[in-house]
Amino acid sequence: MPGFEYLLDALTPLNILLALGGVIAGTVIGSLPGLTATMAVAVLVPVTFSMAPASALILMGAIYTGAIYGGAYAAILLNTPGTPSAIATTFDGFPMAKRGDGDLAVTLACLASVSGGLVGAAFLLVLAPPLATVALAFGPVEYFWLAVFGLTLISALSEGNLLKGLIGACFGLLLSGVGVAEISADVRFTFGSQVLLGGIETVSALIGLYCIPVLIDLVATPDRHLKVTHAPRGFRLAEALAISWRHKWNLLRSSVIGTLVGILPGAGGSIAGLVAYSEARRVSPRREHFGQGEPEGVQATESANNATVGGGFIPTLVLGIPGTPPDAVILGALLIQGVRTGPNLFTEEGSIVYTFIYGLFLATILMLPAGLVIGRYAYKTIVTVPKAMLVPTVAFMTLIGTYSIRNSVSDVIIMITLGVVGWILNRVGFSPSPIVLGLILGRIAEQGFVQAWTIGAATENLTGMFFGRPISLGIIAFIALSLFYPLVRARWVGRRRKIDAD
């Protein structure tokens, strides 16, 4: 275990203040739809230039971890992922809030985020150099299979109508192809429109598909946004702790998944959350309740996406390859500070790196009280504010949040259009989640597939390229498990019941 002196360095009053301030600022920014963790870190980078490198890293790490957690608020209370990492949080978080358990969902999300953040930081502290090699072992074909693994969630999200789920996913995959093709630079599906050249921005699409339908239905009736059936119950911390302890293996498994996915450059918190959610659902005895407000779903996603913070720092610091987009911003800030990342960083600049890692632990722990208080306030605001105030405020936030991503009015119009399309499709039985899955995973799947295909064709070994690499085979095995395990298990349970009856 690296030096105790670095822990003391991290615990200076200035660093504690920076960690707390960073977590609070990140949580608030992350909770606003459209403002991502990348933006939160990027905006506050200039503030760090006058600081010591370790303190700067602590502040940026705290903002990053707070922003990832903050995304859960909008996901749970408004059905809008505040950040892309919180997509899967909407699956169970919003149903929980709708039935009157929004306060519990927010507290569960906070506990899960802290658990995930701590596991990610622990991996960063203890196993960073060996784990960094995982990032290098992942080639295009592994990314392709990882995206396919994410797409297997469609069966879980289709609610009894797999064909509609598959059609929705195809629609999302086609939407992901709009604009300039990444590899060949051909212009696709723009039909001469300049507006579509930049493609469909993922966060805008998320806001449109998830939030606009909610607003459209909110404005149409005088009913309350969320069901409030009970008197105020505080944080519901004891209840949330009991649930967390009951599902500790889910938390641990999801955190490890989040860390490992975070290590993969470009994968990010959204994929980590989706993969962890898929695994949690597969393993859980209550899998049929997933999507209807199952606390395990919220725990899986939130622990995984916060674990990507520590995981993403592993290739960033050891290899100089940013694991996630906010890591790229932090890497740039480090270079400006004169810190050269690389395999020798942990030995040559140990005081900076280990002070930062302990600072990340500190920020994650401080997220517990800060997150609980902010979450409680967010929940109370959403349930008590009059509808005539809530609807325009949220609508306004979607407008400004979407605009700010690329400073584009076109993105705002696309967002609203997708929202209307999503609402209509919802009316005829098409859930937005498979569309979103296709949209997010489409780009990763296509890029991985085309690159792997090109390499395989050039080496005249297409089969070996797609089915002959150990990591690929491992992911394919998980895909098969994810698809067929429910069938096998149902048959096995049926046989057991028959034997018991006999």
The region of 15-23, 35-43, 101-109, 355-363 touching other proteins under the rule CB under 8 A is 35-43
Which of 388-420 are b and which e, b meaning 16 or more Cβ less than 10 Å from the residue's Cβ?
eebbeebeebbbebbbbbeebebbbebbbebbe
The binder of other proteins chosen from 1, 427, 487, 502 (CB under 8 A): 427
Provide the mask over 119-158, with x wherever binding to other proteins is found by CB under 8 A and - wherever it is not. --------------------------------------x-
Q: Reduced to 3 DSSP states, what percent helix, strand and coil does the chain have, rounded to the nearest 5?
A: 80, 0, 20
User: Which of 9, 18, 101 is CA-nearest to residue 66?
Assistant: 18
Footprint of other proteins on 211-240 (CB under 8 A)? 212, 215-222
In this structure, is the dihedral angle defined by the CA atoms of residues 270, 272, 273 and 274, taken in order, positive or negative? positive
The binder of other proteins chosen from 7, 181, 368, 481 (CB under 8 A): 181
The binder of other proteins chosen from 8, 17, 136, 183 (CB under 8 A): 183
The region of 81-89, 258-266, 442-450, 488-496 touching other proteins under the rule CB under 8 A is 442-450
Amino acid 4 reads F
Q: Are 64 and 72 in contact (CB under 8 A)?
A: no
In eight-state DSSP terms, residue 83 is S
The DSSP bridge partners found for residue 188 are: 179
Under the criterion CB under 8 A, does residue 192 sit at the interface with other proteins?
no
The binder of other proteins chosen from 12, 47, 100, 188 (CB under 8 A): 188
Q: Taking the complex as a whole, how short is the minimal distance between the CB of residue 215 and other proteins, in angstroms?
A: 6
Under the criterion CB under 8 A, does residue 409 sit at the interface with other proteins?
yes
Footprint of other proteins on 318-377 (CB under 8 A)? none
Q: Taking the complex as a whole, how short is the minimal distance between the CB of residue 389 and other proteins, in angstroms?
A: 6
Which of 281-316 are b and which e, b meaning 16 or more Cβ less than 10 Å from the residue's Cβ?
bbebeebebbbebbbbbbbbbbbbbbbbbbbbbbbb
The region of 257-265, 273-281, 370-378, 413-421 touching other proteins under the rule CB under 8 A is 413-421
Q: Taking the complex as a whole, how short is the minimal distance between the CB of residue 283 and other proteins, in angstroms?
A: 22
The DSSP bridge partners found for residue 180 are: 187
Provide the mask over 62-91, with x wherever binding to other proteins is found by CB under 8 A and - wherever it is not. -----------------x----------xx
To the nearest 10°, report the CA torsion of 224, 228, 231, 232.
-90
Query: Whole-angstrom distance between the N-terminal and C-terminal Cα of the chain?
Result: 57
Locate 426 and state its tokens: 């919802």
Provide the mask over 291-310, with x wherever binding to other proteins is found by CB under 8 A and - wherever it is not. xx------------------
The binder of other proteins chosen from 127, 242, 400, 493 (CB under 8 A): 400
Footprint of other proteins on 237-296 (CB under 8 A)? 291-292
